[in-house]
Amino acid sequence: MKRKVIRQKLISKPLIISVAFFLQLALLLSIVYQLSQHLFGLYTFFVLLSYITVIVVLNRDDNPSYQLIWTIVILFIPLFGGLLYILFGGKKIPKALQKEMMLMDSTKPYLEVNDSKLIEDLPESLERWKKLITYLRTQTYFPLFAKTQSMYLPLGEDKFVMMCEALKQAKHFILLEYFIVKDGKMLESISKILLSKVQEGVEVLFIVDDFGSSELSTYMTQTLKNAGVKLVFFNPLKPSLAIFMNNRDHRKICVVDNRIGFVGGINIGDEYINVIERFGHWKDNAIMLEGEAVSSLTIMFLTMYQYIIKQPVDIKSYLIENKAEDDGYIQPFSDSPTDEEAVGESVHLHLINQANKSIKIQTPYLILSHIMKNALIVAAKSGVKIEIMVPHVPDKRLVFEVTRSYYESLINAGVTIAEYTPGFVHAKMMIIDDEVATLGTTNMDYRSYYLHFECGVMVYKSAIIQVMSDDFDKTMKECVIITKSNVEQTSLILRVFRALLRVFATML
């Protein structure tokens, strides 16, 4: 069995692409080195290019940690540093994607929901959140909604049950967008429903990230396509130095008839519903929406879909009117690396800075910029009770060590750090004062903030927030609280190792 797994990994598409990629890179650098040894002018050119690149990097409006690591790399290997940054450091995005995803000209007409009166009539207790609501409206074009019911799903198993029930109810269309899709019982169950719905005349559109879903079999892909499911891959893997490999579609969206929508951290794989165990018990969550706010999820999906297929989509035809009873205020939003606006990071910072009493955070990765760490420390020192829940069983060991490198300064400021002892926390949730919450796909790390396509939902003054908070408190009982003495017992070697990893944190 182990041999079979090893053999599958050795012939996997990501590994083959990676080998081809590094062979190309090695060949390019070898040519540059050999030529520079015989042509002094060329050597001087590349060294000067590196020094100029450092100046450009330090003057860019970018994350300081990202600037630091690239400055170190460039100056450490001046012959190749500038060239490497040009190839990989600029967060390259195709112009077509910039035009369609950043400007969103094609979607603006469908997003002109007049929510001004709704915002004007917000309860006094939500007055301080008007700036955040306005920020999301102006930077992502997604408005605030009221006529929407929401349900919190505390585990992948819960989302799976509700998702299957919703898919079975589809009459017009099903939209699925996932970072990871892999063969197993979860996909098999969903596929059966999709195939039956296609036979009933329901349109099924399915976006899959090519890197995240590298374990999706060709057999399953062809089965879905042959049955009529319109399955497309985002950013296909290619052995090319000119690709934007780091920019992945990390979103997890499911929409049925513009009536029901799901958002959260749960992908389509058996570990997410605890059918199999990879890193202990998998703690994840999602939110189910029913009502007007689902339109934002529909538009998020279709905007991406029309870019991938390179054909315009009649978005308006998918916006079937649907209303539900009021249950607080809902504002879905998306984040894209195609612009200079780090929406996910800005939302987290705004929430932390506006907290008066409490902050509850669940995140699988805690890789903090200076400004994010400082915001948490200042809030804690100002009397805000902050609890951060992370995994006890890691999925990425190096990232886990970076996460633990932040414990000491946070604990010293009064932040409670809790590790989920049964296994792995994959949930991405933040609750402020039990009054406002966000749940989605954005991790507290550089990749989510700056490199990936992400999405989430802001919830204001809804009954669901207390349910989310209660689940957080319940899960805290299964965690081990990291104390100051625990941190102080860390060996000097491990401290040095973590400090070194922190330097390269934005590349992990």
The pair of structure tokens assigned to 447 is 């990749």
- The confidence score (pLDDT) of residue 45 equals 82
- The confidence score (pLDDT) of residue 70 equals 79
pLDDT band at residue 105 under the 50/70/90 scheme = very low
Answer whether 308's CB lies under 8 Å from 177's CB. Answer: no
Name beta bridge partners: 463. none
Domain extent listing, the chain:
2-89, 95-120+148-324, 343-507
Q: Does the pLDDT at position 112 exceed 80?
A: no
Give 393-420 pLDDT, tens digit per residue.
999 899 999 999 999 999 999 999 999 9
pLDDT band at residue 102 under the 50/70/90 scheme = very low
Residues 343-507: name the CATH superfamily.
Endonuclease Chain A (3.30.870.10)
- The confidence score (pLDDT) of residue 114 equals 73
Q: Could you tell me which residues come within 8 angstroms of residue 28 by beta carbon, excluding any fewer than 6 positions away?
A: 241
Q: How many CB atoms lie within 10 A of CB 500?
A: 12
Answer whether 104's CB lies under 8 Å from 315's CB. Answer: no
DSSP state of 233: E
Average pLDDT over every residue of 32-39: 68
Average pLDDT over every residue of 5-32: 62
Average pLDDT over every residue of 297-312: 92
Give 63-84 pLDDT, tens digit per residue.
777 777 778 888 888 887 777 7
DSSP state of 275: S
- The confidence score (pLDDT) of residue 337 equals 86
- The confidence score (pLDDT) of residue 182 equals 96
Of the CA atoms within 13 Å of residue 113, those in its CB half-sphere come to: 22
- The confidence score (pLDDT) of residue 56 equals 83
Q: Does the pLDDT at position 257 exceed 90?
A: yes
10 versus 120: which is more confidently predicted? Answer: 120
- 174-198 per-residue burial string, b: 16 or more CB within 10 A, e: under 16: bbbbbbbbbbbebbebbbebbbebb
Give 116-162 pLDDT, tens digit per residue.
888 888 888 889 999 999 999 989 889 999 989 999 999 999 999 99
The pair of structure tokens assigned to 95 is 């112009």
- The confidence score (pLDDT) of residue 231 equals 97
Which helix (DSSP H) or strand (DSSP E) does residue 397 occupy? helix 397-405
Q: Does the pLDDT at position 486 exceed 80?
A: yes
Residues of the chain above pLDDT 90, percent: 62
Mean pLDDT lowest for which of 37-51, 151-165, 185-199, 452-466? 37-51
Give 441-476 pLDDT, tens digit per residue.
999 998 899 889 999 999 999 999 999 999 999 999
Average pLDDT over every residue of 372-386: 97
- The confidence score (pLDDT) of residue 500 equals 85
- The confidence score (pLDDT) of residue 394 equals 92
Q: Does the pLDDT at position 7 exceed 60?
A: no
What is the value of pTM for the model shown?
0.87
Which helix (DSSP H) or strand (DSSP E) does residue 161 occupy? helix 156-168
In degrees and rounded to multiples of 5, residue 453 shows phi and psi of -85, 125
- The confidence score (pLDDT) of residue 2 equals 46
**How far is 293 from 280, CA to CA, in rounded Å?**
35
Mean pLDDT of the chain: 87
Answer whether 465's CB lies under 8 Å from 457's CB. Answer: no
Which helix (DSSP H) or strand (DSSP E) does residue 482 occupy? strand 479-482
Q: Could you tell me which residues come within 8 angstroms of residue 59 by beta carbon, excluding any fewer than 6 positions away?
A: none
pLDDT band at residue 277 under the 50/70/90 scheme = very high
What residue has token string 């819960």? 158
pLDDT band at residue 29 under the 50/70/90 scheme = low
Q: Does the pLDDT at position 346 exceed 70?
A: yes
Cα separation values, 154 from 102, 176, 315, 475, Å: 33, 20, 32, 10
- The confidence score (pLDDT) of residue 159 equals 98
Name beta bridge partners: 361. 388, 430
CA 424 to chain centre: 17
Q: Does the pLDDT at position 387 exceed 50?
A: yes
Pick the CATH number of 95-120+148-324 from 3.40.50.1980, 3.30.870.10, 3.30.360.10, 3.40.50.170: 3.30.870.10
Residues of the chain above pLDDT 70, percent: 86
96 versus 217: which is more confidently predicted? Answer: 217
- 42-69 per-residue burial string, b: 16 or more CB within 10 A, e: under 16: ebeebbebbeebbeebeeeebbebbbbb
- The confidence score (pLDDT) of residue 1 equals 44
CA 278 to chain centre: 20
pLDDT band at residue 103 under the 50/70/90 scheme = very low
